[in-house]
Amino acid sequence: MAGPGMVMYEEEFHKISAVIDKLVKDANAKVVFLVDKNGQMIAACGEVENLDTTSLASLTAGNIAATGGLAKLLGEKEFSILFHEGERDNLHISLIGQRVILVVIFDDRSSLGLVRLRVKKCGEELAGIFDQLMKKAEAEAAGVGGVSPFAEITDEDIDNLFRE
């Protein structure tokens, strides 16, 4: 397998939520969310009630993947920032620590300059938290006795999911 899957713990989730919650306010943004590169939503803050965050996550990851493909073709390592400008809302997408994607949705209450500035600062903070998270997940995975809560799943549990 190509490395272990992503794991999120309560403690880090709260730290991450606090950071992006602050970003919503500091950048005057409507919504901020974090997605892993495979398209899984990690956290979202702001006016998310009417947003289909699952779809947004998967399309953002597709977008980053396609842009990464373009970068490679041009001999670039990556394009770490994408910006989409709309009539009402704008989308600022940036890559953090090579593995998570930070998305900021903002309108004319904010500006690209402000968003870029705040995202940069927040990005460093988030990268630190994700580093920690990876180390913790690796340590737990290597821990004695296999701490995976799924180690105890029985075949019956799995079958039950599919019972009509």
Partner 1 sequence: MSFINYSSREINCKIVYYGPGLCGKTTNLQYIYNKTNPQAKGKMISLATETERTLFFDFLPLSLGEIRGFRTRFHLYTVPGQVFYDASRKLILKGVDGVVFVADSQIERMEANIESLENLRTNLTEHGYDLDKIPYVVQYNKRDLPNSAPLDELKKLLNPTTVPDFEACAVSGEGVFDTLKAVAKLVLQELKSGR
Distances (CA, A) of 53 to 31, 97, 129: 10, 22, 22
Q: Of 25, 47, 59, 124, which one interacts with partner 1 (CB under 8 A)? A: 59
Q: In the chain, what is the straight-line distance between the N-terminal and C-terminal CA atoms, in Å? A: 32
Q: Of 18, 48, 68, 125, which one interacts with partner 1 (CB under 8 A)? A: 68
# residues near partner 1 by CB under 8 A: 42
d(CA 25, CA 19): 10
Give me the least distance between CB of 143 and partner 1, in Å please.
11
Residue 13 makes contact with partner 1 by CB under 8 A: yes
Q: Of 18, 48, 51, 65, which one interacts with partner 1 (CB under 8 A)? A: 65
Q: Of 21, 22, 28, 36, which one interacts with partner 1 (CB under 8 A)? A: 36
Residue 40 makes contact with partner 1 by CB under 8 A: yes
Distances (CA, A) of 10 to 17, 63, 160: 10, 29, 27
Residue 55 makes contact with partner 1 by CB under 8 A: yes
Q: Which tokens in the block code for residue 145?
A: 């006795």
Q: Measuring CA to CA, which residue among 25, 28, 24, 60 is closest to residue 42?
A: 60
d(CA 125, CA 140): 23
Q: Are 97 and 128 in contact (CB under 8 A)?
A: no
Q: Which amino acid is at 74?
A: L
Give me the least distance between CB of 48 and partner 1, in Å please.
14
Residue 142 makes contact with partner 1 by CB under 8 A: no
Q: Of 112, 117, 139, 153, which one interacts with partner 1 (CB under 8 A)? A: 153
Q: Which residues bind partner 1 (CB under 8 A)?
A: 1-10, 13-14, 36-40, 42, 52, 54-55, 58-59, 62, 65-66, 68-69, 141, 146, 148-153, 155, 157-158, 160-162
